[in-house]
Amino acid sequence: MAKAIIAPSMLSSDFANLASEAERMLNCGADWLHMDIMDGHFVPNLTLGAPIIESLRKHTKAYLDCHLMVTNPLDYVEPLGKAGASGFTFHVEASRDNWQELVQKIKSKGMKPGVSLKPGTPIEEVYPLLDGENSVELVLVMTVEPGFGGQKFMPEMMDKVRTLRKKYPSLDIEVDGGLGPSTIEAATSAGANCIVAGSSVFGAPDPAQVITLLRVSVEE
Ligand code: DX5
Ligand code: ZN
């Protein structure tokens, strides 16, 4: 079984105090920091890119789990590698023609390659990326339409997680969108081991308590 990874989404943090927000989450027990990179084109929102990752990297050794919601992920590999990103998860919808080149390049820059899919994309689309030489090491199943934090979890996405877990017992399966104390059980019983949570962690009076609760649910 894949190990529990709890990744607070820094999209819900105070961007003006990113370094201290990151440190706060790590002190609360976070394993990874989830960094949402949006280009205002693939999704209708614009967030951050390599310069901010580079700045944050100067303040922390933490695993920076970058989720690329961009139209041209290939353009981001080199700058993000240089900036100190740890994971590079691109969207399958944005890489139908060049995913092999993309995975190869991500690995050559020392980052962990991952693939994500939007709610409307069937799970079968990621299968080719999981077999063979240029395979990804993580699948991020979106449980909301990508673009914004604070949306409602889509339980119907758990069929994708279940199907994937059956086929790949030790794969890192990440879920992202609307995860918190009231939805975690659905995700972990389906087989997710890597949990992204933004508003439920940052909005809690005691984020450490929420992180522990999420972790316990994965480990149960
Ligand atoms: C949405 C982002 C998520 C978002 C999750 O497109 O990919 O990472 O920050 O936020 P919550 O947990 O609030 O749904
Ligand atoms: Zn995300």
Expressed as residue numbers, the domain containing 47 is 5-219
Q: Answer yes or no: are the C-beta atoms of 126 and 101 closer than 8 Å.
A: no
CA-to-CA dists, residue 150 to 9, 159, 177, 207, angstroms = 11, 22, 8, 16
* Ligand 1 near 67 CB (within 6 A): yes
Q: Check: pTM over 0.90? Answer yes or no.
A: yes
34 annotated to a ligand binding site: yes
Query: Is the confidence metric ipTM above 0.90 for this complex?
Result: yes
149 annotated to a ligand binding site: yes
36 is catalytic: yes
* Ligand 1 near 183 CB (within 6 A): no
Q: List per-residue pLDDT tens for the chain, 220 residues long.
A: 789 999 999 999 999 999 999 999 999 999 999 999 999 999 999 999 999 999 999 999 999 999 999 999 999 999 999 999 999 999 999 999 999 999 999 999 999 999 999 999 999 999 999 998 899 999 999 999 999 999 999 999 999 999 999 999 999 999 999 999 999 999 999 999 999 999 999 999 999 999 999 999 999 9
State the total domains in the chain: 1
CATH code (residue 187): 3.20.20.70
